[in-house]
Amino acid sequence: MADVKVPLRDMHFSLQEVLNYTSRSAELGGFEAVDEDTLSAVLEEAAKFVEQELAPINQSGDQQGCQWNDTVVTTPDGFKEAYAAFVEGGWASLSADTEYGGQGLPPSMATLLSEMAGTANWAWAMYPGLSHGAHATITAHGSEEQKATYLGKLTSGEWTGTMCLTESHCGTDLGMLRTRAEPNEDGSYSLHGTKIFISAGEHDMTDNIVHIVLARLPDAPKGTKGISLFIVPKCLPDENGEAGERNGVSCGSIEHKMGIHGNATCLLNFDGAKGFLIGPPNRGLNCMFTFMNAARLGTALQGVAHAEFGYQKSLDYARDRLQMRSLSGQKNPDKNADPIIVHPDVRRMLLTQKAFAEGGRLFVHSLAMDVDVTESDASPQEIGKADARLALLTPIAKAFLTETGFESANLGLQIFGGHGFIQEWGMEQNVRDCRISTLYEGTTGIQALDLLGRKIVGSQGGLLRPFLAEIAEFCDAHENTREMANVVATLRTHCDEWETITTDITMRAMSNADEIGAASVDYLMYAGYVVLAYFWAQSRATALNALAQPTCTEHDFYQAKLTTCDYYFEKLLPRTRSLVATMDAGADPLMALNADHFRF
């Protein structure tokens, strides 16, 4: 029951009809070869791979889990074989630079593959998923020798990568990390310390793992200004560039987790492991943001994946499950009950999942195309514009789409009723697997502080204004279309309100810095609802245009877009009203209680 089908029709709608994917790719220097035939071929073949190779081992992988034995980690049955098929099919190299054996397609192509793989089997998808961040970090900050040593193997998928950030005592506060890097005579470093929560930190799917590790040099200043970045391979490359002598890094244990059991979350011990400085000394956190931003977009995608999974499975169930009669009159007189899809509350849950899955997909695809711009031969002005848009929208996407993805996963389980609580249907696994998405790569609270504190207040609104102008331009283009009038008016109202809220919080924060923290999560969720409204408005405009064509043969598909857009604007966007009220309440209700009085 837990298998899924890739929503190819909706992906095509998002990419081609709303975002003009291939046309825009053709305008970017370096990606001119991406035409509609190429896109369709990649999507269709990728769909076959994930449906045939990954979906069948999702539930069994969860039930079997990873096994640890004396530093050795064994992945669930079928994971290693699926990864071998992934590498053999050339999927690992899809968006990598041709200089290192890649196929040279836009980075967004890898995002589309990750979306499919993650929906079918998130735990498996994390193994190659983290390699993209390692590849990007070495590409951006590595020396030519480091690129020559590692990028070819990461490109092919022969080796995988990890991100080693936190330690047991510091969590998100990386300024507290203690792992140290002592210089060796040959220019390398010996790393000593322990890292926790390392996804895919040890496994049996490849013969080498390239760890990207944060550590301190002996003379490093305290705090985040004294962190450097290192490449620490599990096995040191030999003279032929293959995995050679085992390095001094080992897996001390794997975590026993709520979900994603098929992915090994490791405690890694660095006992004099040989590492190689990447980027400037004491600038490691800055360099690591290359990896972290890629991971945050990948996690935003996870929210969409779990929303899609929950929607697909609960929709099938709601059509088949017979229970009670419709309050407006029986709909299935030949049976002793009606299918539960006729009941308004079940419709509420299904439409909420649909709105978040399809709207979130368009949101992620749009950001993936911004990444394409930053990796292309576009003008500095175009790249700067895409970078600024990503800076603003990445924390919103990461936090909002994972929060709504978790909500959708729970709604999917709810539609199943008691059966959703039972393992065999796969719904409780979807909830468990999804829960981590709001935590790793920066919790919702951390993303909210990044958005409001650093991106909005820190730029004095400089990052927000261009995006609001983008929405205003869309509204100007569609305000005279009768079927768009209400949507456009609502968008304009919310954008004006967004600016007002921003000004109010900024003014209050001038006299009380806690106002930022008190408002931040509500502010991010407000922003998320408005951003998704913008993408649903684009979907509506596209669907209306398609329905107006005399050759349209998919009336039901486009009408469903219009109806879901209406649902979003009338039933979900109004959640912003309570968020405005809680932001207006300020910090006092949160900070008034003495910390000692929290006890029972």
Question: What positions carry a catalytic annotation?
Answer: 441
Q: Which residue has the tokens 């998923």?
A: 129
Strands 160-164 and 209-215 turn out to be parallel
CB 199 within 8 A of CB 150: no
Task: Give the up-direction half-sphere exposure of residue 404: CA atoms within 13 A in the CB hemisphere.
Answer: 33
- Three-state SS across 534-576? HHHHHHHHHHHHHHCCCCCCCHHHHHHHHHHHHHHHHHHHHHH
Distances in Å between the Cα of 500 and the Cα atoms of 25, 66, 403, 493, 583 are: 36, 50, 25, 11, 12
Estimate the share of the chain in helix, then strand, then coil, as percent rounded to the nearest 5.
Answer: 60, 10, 25
Dist CA 542 CA 599 (whole Å): 55
Dist CA 431 CA 313 (whole Å): 13
User: Residue 344: CB partners within 8 Å, gap ≥ 6?
Assistant: 327
The H or E element containing residue 352 is helix 344-374
Q: Contacts by 7-10 with C-beta closer than 8 Å and gap 24+?
A: 7/308, 7/312, 7/361, 8/43, 8/44, 8/47, 9/557, 10/358, 10/361
Dist CA 23 CA 36 (whole Å): 9
Per DSSP, 456 falls in state I
Report the SS3 class of residue 464.
helix
Distances in Å between the Cα of 434 and the Cα atoms of 300, 405, 406 are: 11, 7, 6
Distances in Å between the Cα of 149 and the Cα atoms of 131, 281, 523, 545 are: 15, 21, 44, 51
Dist CA 272 CA 189 (whole Å): 8
User: Within 10 A of 588 (CB to CB), how many other CB atoms are there?
Assistant: 11
CB 101 within 8 A of CB 155: yes
- Three-state SS across 75-136? CCCCHHHHHHHHHHCCHHHCCCCHHHCCCCCCHHHHHHHHHHHHHHCHHHHHHHHHHHHHHH
Among the residues of 417-550, which ranges form H helices? 427-435, 444-449, 464-478, 485-509, 514-547
R_g of the chain, CA atoms, integer Å: 24
Dist CA 319 CA 90 (whole Å): 38
